[in-house]
Homo-oligomer: A and B are copies of this chain.
């Protein structure tokens, strides 16, 4: 008997089974023309006994759908030797989500990125079905295939349209399809409990199945689990039909025991708090029995679009060395990011210090930048979140995970294979913990680097600002001096000429202002300035914080450097190899003497490898990260103080700048007043002199020459003036002075000759 089957363009071997169902089987086949591998679905006798319109329905549906997230139909051909029609489809080499979830790597659900890919592709495929008014009626992990494209990227695709049919959203159907764990309670009631309820079902039954599927993909487990599993049908119905709104799982862990209801995803799943917050309501909306509250497809597609459009931001929380994921809405801004962080960390927005590499996050995005305008962030270069208030570092070790199993003394190929798989599950959990610790230890070093450089840059900035203020202070000082001198001169002249001005408060305040200025400028020059210089010298120039850290971690190992994650991966691979060995032993059913010897050795190896992995985690990586956390806490206590000091000095400098500006503004008035008074006094003096001398006409020539000379000098003085805007008021004084010179009795003297 030949296992070879074929159609016009394809050939397959009945030994290469990809899957089997009630109405037929799927085999891996090959295109005869180019050798391309394909999947071939054949139909059995039972299927041919169905009504003709039901038989052709699958072909019709497949011909109608054409979407990246639905397995592509390549051909419908007649099988040779008249065995009927076969469906040839593209081959999804990644297997089904059922196979993937069955891998011990995914015992606690898929990783976040992969989970979101499933959500994206599943909903896109469903959207295409809805757009074509199709209902699938048998959605479950086993019918979602992983297609690995030539360029290595993954595409999930819906398959098996054996139960599908056309159905408008408001239309109903009567027939029963689907797989019981994923069935809507109403369908379950009739199909599994065989109750003649007479209900019809709408397209939304697919939504319930999507809910169960997504819960399964997110957690590795079914949401509704009666004790005893499938056998306990009444409890299954009770759990699904009677659960409260918002409840997304119900578990009965003892016979006839109570149901543990939960509105949350379990802790051991691989999803972050950030994504759980978005996915939990989605699951709640899908797993809804109340026809009033149940979501429609539009709502589902919108919510998925909302989740997928968010910007993923990776944050490293320094106080507990944990990675945080924040999904920022495309239309929301920095404020919301801070709020989302407060939710996950209890650090209030005003106490958050957010650094990306060595810069404040706000130097990379603006406060008003929308989420969609944020750059793409790299998980390996997270934003560092420090707290202004809290300088403790407490690493969370998560030691409540599953434990490695022990084998029984007697050999049982059944139980050994299962225990081997459990060991692999636990191994994967350990490995992920080690990877997490290793990343955390790397980020621990990175955050010190970021913070140190940020402080150093900050101090550079404060120093530059204070230097500029010193310059400004010097200029103001000069004008104050000028006021004082002008006052002094005016005083001398008025005393000499016995003038007395009406005693306004604005007169002769030079000394008073000078004293006020002394007090003000002393703050900068003898307090603020030296303090800034000192801090800058220590933490900007001498890099004391960096040295401090180097000293603290000199003797510590970092899991990243000891290649702990690579070692963990090797050990997990070894566990998986052993598991595969035990699986083969189970498949062979009876072991030869030789096989049994090696079976026992493989069990020993599983035990030893598990122990090594446990030790790597608990005796190496965890103590290392704990020590690193202690070092970081010691370091951050200093660094935080420096940071806060720098902040205070920065504020003080700003405050001083404000005071100086206020003083300069106020003083500018007095300065003008003083100069005006002096000018006025000189005018009086001039008049007095002219009065004294009597008016004589100056000799024409000499006067002109002398004025020309004076003009030259005044030109030169004018040039000087130009270069100092600060002293521009003085120039009017100088001008007065020149005017005075021009009119001085000199001319008269010459006419005396």
Residues of A within 8 A of B (CB): 2-4, 11, 13, 30, 32-36, 150-153, 478, 481-482, 485-486, 488-489, 492-493, 495-496, 562-563, 566-567, 569-571, 578, 593-594, 597-598, 601-609, 689, 692-693, 701-702, 705-706, 708-709, 712-713, 715-717, 719-724, 726-727, 730, 733-734, 737, 741, 744-746, 748-750, 752-753
Contacts and interface: CB of A to CB of B under 8 A. Distances in A.
Contacts of A603: 35
Given A13-B594, A35-B601, A693-B752, 17 more contacts: A4-B597, A32-B604, A34-B608, A35-B603, A35-B604, A151-B562, A151-B566, A482-B719, A485-B715, A486-B712, A493-B705, A496-B705, A692-B750, A716-B733, A719-B730, A723-B724, A745-B745
Contact of A36 (B30, B151, B605, B730): B605
Nearest to A30: B601
A151 B482 CA distance: 76
Nearest to A701: B496
10 A-B pairs closest in CB distance: A35-B605, A151-B563, A489-B712, A152-B566, A35-B604, A496-B705, A151-B566, A34-B608, A745-B749, A150-B567
A489 B713 contact: yes
Contacts of A481: 715, 719
A456 to B, nearest CB: 20
B151 A567 contact: yes
A724 B482 CA distance: 17
A492 B709 contact: yes
A594 B5 CA distance: 10
A620 to B, nearest CB: 12
A588 to B, nearest CB: 15
A357 to B, nearest CB: 15
A496 B4 CA distance: 128
Given A151-B566, A570-B151, A708-B492, A720 B719 contact: no
Contact of A604 (B4, B34, B604, B705): B34
Nearest to A721: B720
Contacts of A717: 717, 734
Nearest to A497: B705
A701 B478 CA distance: 30
A491 to B, nearest CB: 10
22 contacts: A2-B593, A13-B594, A33-B604, A34-B605, A34-B608, A35-B578, A35-B601, A35-B602, A35-B603, A36-B608, A150-B570, A151-B570, A153-B563, A485-B716, A486-B716, A489-B708, A489-B713, A496-B701, A724-B724, A744-B744, A744-B746, A745-B746
Contacts of A692: 749-750, 753
Nearest to A35: B605
A150 B573 CA distance: 10
A602 B495 CA distance: 118
| Chief secondary structure at chain A's binding surface | helix
A340 to B, nearest CB: 33
A745 B750 CA distance: 10
B716 A482 contact: yes
Indicate how many identical chains form the complex.
2
Contact of A709 (B478, B489, B705): B489
A597 B35 CA distance: 11
A11 B571 contact: no
A748 B737 CA distance: 20
A167 B294 CA distance: 87
A720 B712 contact: no
Contacts of A478: 719, 722-723
A730 B715 CA distance: 11
A706 B30 CA distance: 116
A100 to B, nearest CB: 20
A705 B604 CA distance: 111
Contacts of A493: 705, 709
Nearest to A478: B719
Contact of A720 (B2, B13, B727): B727
A157 to B, nearest CB: 18
A381 to B, nearest CB: 15
Contact of A485 (B485, B701, B712): B712
Contacts of A705: 492-493, 495-496
A404 to B, nearest CB: 14
Contacts of A604: 32-35
A440 B247 CA distance: 55
A692 B34 CA distance: 123
A146 to B, nearest CB: 15
A727 B721 CA distance: 11
A737 B720 CA distance: 15
A601 B4 contact: no
A746 B748 CA distance: 10
Contacts of A152: 563, 566-567, 569-570
Contacts of A593: 2, 4
Given A30-B601, A597-B11, A720-B721, A150 B571 contact: yes
B746 A11 contact: no
Contacts of A598: 11, 13, 30
A493 B711 CA distance: 12
Contacts of A594: 2-4, 13
Contacts of A32: 601, 604
Most buried by B among A562, A593, A597, A601: A601
A32 B608 CA distance: 11
Contacts of A602: 35
A720 B735 CA distance: 14
A36 B488 CA distance: 99
Contacts of A712: 485-486, 488-489, 492
A48 to B, nearest CB: 26
A234 to B, nearest CB: 46
A200 B507 CA distance: 116
A608 B35 contact: yes
Contacts of A566: 150-153
Nearest to A702: B496
Contact of A749 (B606, B607, B749): B749
Nearest to A722: B478
A485 B709 CA distance: 9
Nearest to A682: B709
Nearest to A571: B150
Contacts of A724: 720, 723-724
A723 B727 contact: yes
A708 B494 CA distance: 12
Nearest to A744: B746
Contacts of A607: 35
A323 to B, nearest CB: 23
A187 B667 CA distance: 103
